[in-house]
Structure 1
Amino acid sequence: MSSINYTTRTEGQTRINTILWTVPNFINLLENKSTREFRTVKTQDQSVDLTDSRFQLKMQFLGRDNDIIEIYYLSPNPVFLKSILTICLKRFEERSIVIKEYHTVQANKWQYLATLFKRDIASYDGREIFLLSDGSLRLKFQFMVSNDIKVDRTNVPEAQLSNDFENLLNNGLFSDVTMKSAEGNEYKVHKAVLASRSVVLKAHFEHNTTECYTNVVESPLESEVLREVLTFIYSDKAPRVDEIPEKLLAAADFYQLSRLKSFCEEALHKKLTVENAIETLQLADLHSAKTLKQLTLEFIKDGQAKLITKTEGWAKVKSVDLIKVIYEYIMADDFEADIK
């Protein structure tokens, strides 16, 4: 009866499973030509079941005289692992037999690991080479299971999904609805794509709406803006966001495209100056662009307030509420300092 010693430890994102498999009287096992396979069995610890929760091991004996020993392992779960097989020798020495770098392993499928030869277990002159002093064969398996391995993907083609969907927009293939700009320009599009990206557009095709019967969606957006919005919907890209961020912010808010809205807020923040700070703040407030509004208020507060009150934008402010927001934001820290 063989014995199993199973230990585990964790290093960072890697779980290292170490198994010591000791097979006593191994030469006798090899000489028994009726034995063609030898597997690990349940551990003596009744709380641990190798067949259910841990790696299993087996040897297959090949050749007329069991001259070849193939070693396999089985994982109960799909894993990404590195495996090392070591033979334990006399005088506490060890010899690595095989090291397999990280690769994906299927669950409950025997995986080939290494081959041993009978001639290496014991030489013809009777010397035991790979056996311990008591005649047992001891193999040490290390299975390093990781969730944080960077796979070399240099030979993997770049993702084409974004480009493929953009081509679908450009060629109108299999389109089932027409979208019209404010000027009347038409774009051949697809209900499923529009509905999956925008809850506003999805609402056009639900229930008994006019669009359900006509398969035409009238958009209030100008052609250049609508085209950019559709490009984003299909490809998740906004190539002109730095050119027309104000118009795109309004469009993103209208169609509830939060990611496009974030792109626009970032572009407007990059363009923020003393001269356009008030206009930017009004735009952010109008379209509920909370991040842009916060960043603009911080810009105004950061030593720019006096300069901004001399701009044309400030002179045109008609919203008392907006002036109140600016004032309260600027004065907040001073008020808190007075309290302390």
Structure 2
Amino acid sequence: MSSLNYTIRMEGQTKINTLIWTVPCFIKLLENKTVREFRTDKLDHGNRDIKSGIQLKLQFLGQENEIIEIYYLSPNPVFLQSILTVCLKRFEERSIVIKEYQTVQGNKWQYLATLYKRDIASNNGSDTFLLIDGSLRLKFQFKISNNIKVERSNIPETQLSYDFENMLLTGLFSDVIMKSAEGNEYKVHKAVLASRSVVLKAHFEHSTIECQTNIVESPLEAEVLIEVLKFIYSDKAPRVDEIPERLLAAADFYQLSRLKSLCEEALHKRLTVENVIETLQLADLHSAKTLKLLTLEFIKDGQAQLITKTEGWAKIKSIELIKTIYEYIMTDDIEAEDIK
């Protein structure tokens, strides 16, 4: 009998529903070709309604149930973000999909992700996605925003970010000049810069040189500075996948936390055996804790022997970083807070 555990908590105006669905003897379930779907609303919850109200469903496709599609259903229309994680052995987890906030219709099954039988049980008998007892455990997290109304219609897309970016491009009503390392000048606005970065805000407080001259000298090269300014004005980073290393350094310098997170995500997507040590050093240099944790997890996940033969490993000089790698690999229950 499968089980479903759930918790609900509030973060501001966001309700976070966490559901952990455990399906025992999952391989036997896949081998039963008469079963085409498996749903949580068929479970016996002791005559109690699921407080979250969200139902889950596995749908099996193919002659040998080779494909497993995962769906969820909300009883009401909501605006939510959905995250699916597979719980593995040794208390590890693997993120399968993260879908950003979207409007979801009520009482309609929503596709979330696809799993494949080959990933659950390979030819050599290894149960990649299964727990030691052979069960499949899926962790769902649904973040429901209560301050955003759904089912809006005939409302134009917001132009705010475009209008602000246009102010940057035209220099309309600018009251300060920002210079790149090469001397390129950009007409900008004190109020916008100060509202987005505490570092830039400090330039315009008290009797600073910037207050007297209305000129801010930046150490960033023009190619990077213009992307930082575009982010400050529009909250968008169109080139984050092209120059994530340089933008990460800039985001750290100006304390732009969201840009920093976007850079960490871009660098995580590009992780390979050859560049993981350089990426780890970059994360350590700029206090990118999330990226540092992800690179350590990449190293720990069966790649350590290959990584020690790379050029990046041969050039590593920080004893502290080597110690951190060793401790992370050797410790199963290390907490994210321990990664400094």
TM-score by length of 2: 0.54
In the alignment, is residue 229 of structure 1 matched against residue 189 of structure 2?
no
**Shift, 1:150, TM fit:** 5.0
Taking a change above 3 Å as real, the CA distance of residues 188 and 149 of structure 1, as seen in their structure-2 partners, is closer
Instruction: Return the letter of the residue paired with 1:272.
Output: L
Taking a change above 3 Å as real, the CA distance of residues 148 and 308 of structure 1, as seen in their structure-2 partners, is closer
**Shift, 1:332, TM fit:** 1.2
Instruction: Tell me the SS of whatever aligns to 1:174.
Output: coil
Q: Match for residue 321 of structure 1?
A: 320
Aligned mates of 2:214, 2:149 — CA distance in 1: 47
Instruction: Tell me the SS of whatever aligns to 2:177.
Output: strand
Aligned mates of 1:246, 1:225 — CA distance in 2: 10
Taking a change above 3 Å as real, the CA distance of residues 318 and 198 of structure 1, as seen in their structure-2 partners, is same
Runs of 4+ in structure 1 deviating by more than 6 angstroms, as ranges, are none
Aligned mates of 1:267, 1:275 — CA distance in 2: 16
Aligned mates of 2:292, 2:150 — CA distance in 1: 41
Instruction: Return the letter of the residue paired with 2:152.
Output: R
Aligned mates of 1:232, 1:289 — CA distance in 2: 19
Aligned mates of 1:157, 1:286 — CA distance in 2: 43
For residues 113-151 of structure 1, the C-alpha deviation after alignment (integer angstroms, 9 at most, x for no partner) is xxxxxxxxxxxxxxxxxxxxxxxxxxxxxxxxxx79955
Q: Match for residue 161 of structure 2?
A: 162
Matches within 5 A, 1:66-81: none
Instruction: Return the letter of the residue paired with 2:214.
Output: N
Instruction: Return the letter of the residue paired with 1:168.
Output: M
For residues 197-217 of structure 1, the C-alpha deviation after alignment (integer angstroms, 9 at most, x for no partner) is 000000000011000000000
Aligned mates of 2:159, 2:290 — CA distance in 1: 32
Instruction: Tell me the SS of whatever aligns to 2:226.
Output: helix
Q: Match for residue 279 of structure 1?
A: 278
Aligned mates of 1:289, 1:334 — CA distance in 2: 21
In the alignment, is residue 187 of structure 1 matched against residue 220 of structure 2?
no
Aligned mates of 2:181, 2:147 — CA distance in 1: 50
Aligned mates of 1:206, 1:334 — CA distance in 2: 45
Root-mean-square deviation (CA, aligned residues, Å) is: 1.6
Q: Match for residue 256 of structure 2?
A: 257
Instruction: Return the letter of the residue paired with 2:213.
Output: T
**Shift, 1:154, TM fit:** 2.5
Q: Match for residue 14 of structure 2?
A: none
Q: Match for residue 73 of structure 1?
A: none
Taking a change above 3 Å as real, the CA distance of residues 189 and 334 of structure 1, as seen in their structure-2 partners, is closer
Instruction: Tell me the SS of whatever aligns to 1:273.
Output: coil
Q: Match for residue 176 of structure 2?
A: 177
Q: Match for residue 196 of structure 1?
A: 195
Instruction: Return the letter of the residue paired with 1:279.
Output: E
Taking a change above 3 Å as real, the CA distance of residues 259 and 150 of structure 1, as seen in their structure-2 partners, is closer
In the alignment, is residue 331 of structure 1 matched against residue 330 of structure 2?
yes
Instruction: Return the letter of the residue paired with 2:238.
Output: P
Identity of aligned residues (%): 85
Instruction: Return the letter of the residue paired with 2:173.
Output: F
**Shift, 1:261, TM fit:** 0.2
**Shift, 1:334, TM fit:** 9.6
Instruction: Return the letter of the residue paired with 1:243.
Output: E
**Shift, 1:278, TM fit:** 0.1
Structure number with larger C-alpha Rg: 1
Aligned mates of 1:271, 1:152 — CA distance in 2: 37
Taking a change above 3 Å as real, the CA distance of residues 293 and 206 of structure 1, as seen in their structure-2 partners, is same
Taking a change above 3 Å as real, the CA distance of residues 148 and 227 of structure 1, as seen in their structure-2 partners, is closer
Instruction: Tell me the SS of whatever aligns to 2:296.
Output: helix
Taking a change above 3 Å as real, the CA distance of residues 257 and 303 of structure 1, as seen in their structure-2 partners, is same
In the alignment, is residue 292 of structure 1 matched against residue 291 of structure 2?
yes
For residues 23-63 of structure 1, the C-alpha deviation after alignment (integer angstroms, 9 at most, x for no partner) is xxxxxxxxxxxxxxxxxxxxxxxxxxxxxxxxxxxxxxxxx
Aligned mates of 1:334, 1:226 — CA distance in 2: 40
Aligned mates of 1:213, 1:162 — CA distance in 2: 30
Instruction: Tell me the SS of whatever aligns to 1:187.
Output: strand
Instruction: Return the letter of the residue paired with 1:273.
Output: T
**Shift, 1:333, TM fit:** 2.7
Aligned mates of 1:151, 1:220 — CA distance in 2: 44
Matches within 5 A, 1:80-91: none
Which stretches in structure 1 are left out of the alignment for 5+ residues?
A: 1-146, 336-340
**Shift, 1:152, TM fit:** 3.6
Which stretches in structure 2 are left out of the alignment for 5+ residues?
A: 1-145, 335-340
